[in-house]
Structure 1
């Protein structure tokens, strides 16, 4: 996620008009998954209802998405959406910048996350993690307590852990090493350099690259992407944010995944179709099949 709190995220999303939507890209040769999106916020930004967004994505080869929860309302919404649409799976969690705002209610919120995580089409816990960009030292303890709670829930249910890490690389690894990471960990919107990528890959984590990898000033991200084995690579939109170049600053949506995938193929020096197949296979390994409950 962008790192803003829930109200700010929705206000920012609502400020993006329909005229800002980039055109549909050329379809991919093989289908892929958008491993991290927020269809609720895309709708708030004028991007149409979830069914329309899913249809637009499928038309260009993005046939599966993961709808990510960032607070209790969005987590409940994600779980319900996944129950209604076979091409959607859900994650549930409390964003690290939400955790300090909950105060004494954090434990209760984690209990609700645990309840929601039991649903069969909820396949991930988070986004959770640490963020020192938006939240100062006064919120560090609550962020870490929430992060540790999410790790325990993911391990209890055998589901993927979705990590938000903003300017907290060493601290995130410290907590994961201390608690013991789940079998499947996704570094959402990977933002580190090649050395940090190596540390994550050595631990068996999956790196998910957003539209930021296509930005002209993102050389370190592209180097990290080149080091990532195909079976540890995902792509995401984090829509409606992080729209890939050349549409940076406009509203994002799952239908724009092909732009990022093509950018990754160019950065890695590989053919497009095998990369699509690898991304799809990694998504199925991390989240399980989309077809059944």
Structure 2
């Protein structure tokens, strides 16, 4: 399974999609904009093994925030939303206030509709992401993808009930390895974040869950088999929430 993948953005997306249908039981294809969601749904939609969801990636909010109303309408028709969130890194600080307004509007809509499962980007913005979620009880379930916050921010996110999706690329750094050790075992699911995430210069593929299990097993001091069992159990629980 893969709970965060930009499958539509691989250079050979149709081929990767065909392989995913054979290799994965489930793949969550997160899109970066409402227009991308519409286009990808038409081109790649049609399988219950691949969930395509609408989003508005914080990195492009500055240029695409006019699509917010379209996104809010799309959210009415789905049970999950992604990729959304905030990016507080220097590169995207110029759009940060707009990002906050967009993310707050998305979370507000999810709460008004009875809750959704959200795949959330939180780079250098964990405190603000958690604040927005806390301000809108009933928004649903937050899955913080490729979490890179501090240990104290991780503790706060866990206390707020957040889930976490993690892939092989998260282990490229010592900081990522240290955070992985602290992730709550009962709220972690596999992701690839391909094609953007890379290991040894190659894009991570959507069928990388075995590799993630091995790396998590090492971090948690359990076997790869035990880690895979944990990931599979968590994945089925999260899927139930996404399909409720």
Does TM-score exceed 0.5, indicating one fold? yes
Q: Which residue of 1 aligns with 2:2?
A: 34
- Give the superposition deviation at 1:54: 0.8
Q: 1:92 to 1:179 in 2, by over 3 A?
A: same
Residue 14 of structure 1 corresponds to: none
Counterparts in 2 of 1:212 and 1:195: CA distance versus 1, 3 Å:
farther
CA distance change for structure 1 residues 262 and 186 in 2, over 3 Å: closer, same or farther? same
Name the structure 2 match of 1:151: 107
Q: C-alpha separation between the residues in 2 aligned to 1:219 and 1:37?
A: 23
Would the aligned equivalents of 1:209 and 1:234 in 2 still touch at CA under 8 Å? yes
Q: Which residue of 2 aligns with 1:182?
A: 139
2:231 maps to which residue?
279
Superimposed CA distance per residue, residues 194-235 of structure 1 (whole angstroms, 9 cap, x where no aligned partner)? 3222111011100111223321xx233223222222221012
CA deviations over 1:226-271 (Å, ceiling 9, x no partner) = 2222221012111102123xxx221221123322221111111112
Q: 1:47 to 1:197 in 2, by over 3 A?
A: same
The counterpart of 1:202, out of the listed 159, 165, 178, is: 159
Q: What is the rounded CA distance, in whole Å, between the counterparts of 2:14 and 2:38 in structure 1?
A: 20
Contact 2:146 2:170 in 1 (8 A): no
Q: Matches of residues 1-293 of structure 1 in structure 2 within 5 Å?
A: 33-42=1-10, 45-46=11-12, 48-55=14-21, 58=23, 62-80=24-42, 83-102=45-64, 105=66, 109-119=67-77, 122-133=78-89, 135-155=91-111, 156-180=113-137, 182-215=139-172, 218-244=173-199, 248-288=200-240
Query: Where does the alignment leave 5 or more consecutive residues of structure 1 unmatched?
Result: 1-32
Aligned length: 243
Provide the rounded CA distance (Å) in 2 between the counterparts of 1:134 and 1:250. 26
| TM superposition shift of 1:171 | 2.2
Show structure 2 runs of 5+ residues with no match. Answer: none
Query: C-alpha displacement at 1:136, in angstroms?
Result: 4.0
Asked whether the equivalents of residues 214 and 227 of structure 2 are also in contact (C-alpha less than 8 Å), the reply is no
Give 1:111 deviation, angstroms.
2.7
Q: For residues 28-85 of structure 1, give each alpha carbon's deviation from its aligned partner in whole angstroms, at most 9, with x where no partner exists.
A: xxxxx2000011111xx236524423146x1xxx321100011022222454577511
Return the structure number with greater relative CO, CA threshold 8 A, min gap 6: 1
> What is the CA–CA distance in structure 2 between the aligned matches of 1:34 and 1:41, rounded to whole Å?
15
Offset, 1:289: 7.7
Q: 1:285 to 1:237 in 2, by over 3 A?
A: same
